[in-house]
């Protein structure tokens, strides 16, 4: 079976006045991608957002929240869509101790996010949000490490890792909203009622508090709270 995995991040910079960083991915069967993107475009259209416009956590307000509530309900209503996230307390970071840069650590965490999703009997195409001019090199390195971890030396299972601009990809936009909600909830922010309404809907539909890890076996809405360990 073939799957596409779409990844995004929130507050990934080391010094951005945000205590928590969130990495996330949304995935589904490759055969369903066109249909899912069409449905996301329909949600935009009926809520007076351009079908090719970008839905984004930072754009949510009380005035436009209906579109975002529709998108969250679509995610939970679709049994073929899945989400995983890692929430990271940046106070736990100690790059000097492990002889790494923040950027190198960032890609280690992307590996931690993705490799838990992969099954050797499936095929995957992985798409990252375009980050900077080095994204191409780093995505190739991530591809190599993921393949090695699964003994997929011929790249028969993990077909490719590619960077795409998020404003063109509805599934990356969905991921952005889900991880944005996790980060906003963890920061205990409360100034945007539209965002709070989105968070409350996610809590209701997932049955989770969004403040603690789910079971590792959770498939639909999987969250892991990372607080540092001895090797990363």
2-10 and 20-29 beta bridge pairing: antiparallel
Element (H, E) at 10: strand 2-10
Q: Going from the N-terminus, what domains does the chain have, and what CATH number goes with each?
A: 2-226 (3.30.420.10)
- CB under 8 Å to 192, separation ≥6 — which residues? 60, 61, 62, 184
Q: Determine contact, residues 4/27, Cβ cutoff 8 Å.
A: yes
Query: Using the 8-state DSSP alphabet, how is residue 214 labeled?
Result: P
**Ranges in the chain, pLDDT < 70:** 11-18, 90-105, 131-136, 228-232
The values of phi and psi at residue 164, to 5°, are: -135, 150
Distance, CA of 211 to CA of 120 (rounded, Å) = 31
Q: Determine contact, residues 73/203, Cβ cutoff 8 Å.
A: no
pTM of the predicted model as reported, rounded to 2 decimal places: 0.89
User: Hey, how many other C-beta atoms are within 10 angstroms of the C-beta on 80?
Assistant: 11
Distance, CA of 110 to CA of 232 (rounded, Å) = 12
Q: How far is the first Cα of the chain from the last one, in angstroms, to the nearest whole number?
A: 32
Class of residue 99 by CB neighbours under 10 A (exposed 0-12, middle 13-18, buried 19+): exposed
Quote the pLDDT of residue 197: 98
Quote the pLDDT of residue 230: 43
Quote the pLDDT of residue 39: 97
Quote the pLDDT of residue 101: 66
Quote the pLDDT of residue 141: 82
Quote the pLDDT of residue 106: 76
């Amino acid at each position: 079976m073939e799957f596409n995995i779409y990844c995004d991040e929130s507050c990934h910079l080391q010094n951005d006045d945000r205590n928590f960083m969130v990495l996330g991915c949304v995935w589904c069967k490759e055969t369903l991608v066109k249909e899912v993107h069409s449905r996301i475009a329909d949600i935009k259209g009926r809520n007076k957002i351009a079908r090719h416009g970008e839905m984004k956590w930072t754009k949510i307000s009380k005035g436009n929240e209906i579109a975002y509530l529709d998108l969250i309900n679509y995610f939970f209503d679709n049994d073929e869509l899945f989400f995983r996230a890692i929430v990271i307390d940046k106070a736990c970071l100690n790059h000097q101790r492990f002889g790494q840069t923040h950027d190198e650590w960032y890609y280690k965490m992307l590996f931690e996010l993705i490799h838990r999703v992969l099954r050797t009997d499936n095929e995957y195409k992985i798409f990252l949000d375009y980050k900077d001019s080095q994204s191409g090199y780093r995505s190739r390195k991530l591809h190599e490490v993921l393949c090695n971890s699964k003994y997929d030396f011929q790249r028969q299972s993990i077909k490719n890792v590619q960077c795409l601009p998020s404003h063109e990809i509805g599934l990356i936009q969905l991921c952005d909203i889900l991880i944005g909600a996790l980060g906003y909830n963890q920061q205990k922010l409360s100034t945007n009622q539209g965002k709070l309404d989105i968070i409350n809907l996610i809590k209701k539909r997932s049955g989770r508090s969004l403040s603690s890890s789910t079971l590792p076996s959770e498939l639909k809405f999987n969250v892991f709270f990372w607080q540092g360990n001895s090797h990363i």
